[in-house]
Every structure is written in C-alpha cells, then in structure tokens.
Amino acid sequence: MYIAVNKLKVQKTRGDELEQRFQHSGAVAREPGFLGFELWKWDGDGEHEEFLVVSRWESEEAHSQWTKSESFKQAHSGPPADFILGHPEFSGYQVKMSVAPEG
C-alpha cells in the first residue's frame, strides 16, 4: 500500500473553505487503485491552520497514474485558492506494517 500526503497551510479561520472544496472531490474515488482519502486538521494554535490531505493507494504506480489522469487535471485546474499559503508539501510513504483490531 502507498500513502500520499500533501500538507497545506491555510489562512487562519478559512479552513472551512478548504473542507468544502474537498467535499466535491469524488472523481478520485473512481480511479484504479484508489483505496481511500482523509483530510486531517492540526488543532494547533499557530498563525495558520494546517491540513494533511492523506490518500491511500494500492501502489505507488496507481498514485502516479492518477496524477497523469484527466480527473487529476480537472481537480487541479483553475487558479489556486487565495486562502492557501505557499505551495503544498508532498510526501509519499510505503506501508510496511498495518495492525487491525482483533475480532
């Protein structure tokens, strides 16, 4: 399994706008190899709000293919949101171990 993480910094009090944008990102759910998506918010008290966009994929190759797809291009088209500070920071991870509850 491959985990793709984008860290976004958002202007203070404007995190709801980011959440609304991601509510309309359903096209990725139809992509081959897509396993799930989560939007995490850091509850710190800094000068900005911080979010992690975490998506799970069957493989790094599946994620890479999505970044070349039409749905990716459409989802990332248009001008950037004015409430996002700087550029997203991307990190990709290979899952080496996963533990599920027993039962």
Residue-wise pLDDT tens digits, 27-57: 888 999 999 999 999 987 788 999 999 999 9
Domain that holds residue 59: 2-94
Instruction: Write out pLDDT tens, residues 54-99.
Output: 999 999 999 999 999 988 888 878 777 899 999 999 999 999 999 9
The neighbouring-strand residues paired with 48 are 11
CATH number at residue 67: 3.30.70.100
In a domain, 21, yes or no: yes
In a domain, 103, yes or no: no
In a domain, 75, yes or no: yes
- Domain count within the chain: 1
Question: 43-74 burial string, b = 16+ CB within 10 Å, else e?
Answer: eeeeebbbbbbbbbbeebebbeebeeeeeeee
Whole-structure pTM value:
0.88
What amino acid occupies position 51? F
CA 103, CA 16: separation in Å to the nearest integer?
37
In a domain, 100, yes or no: no
Q: Residues, the chain, total?
A: 103
Q: Residue 26 has what pLDDT?
A: 76
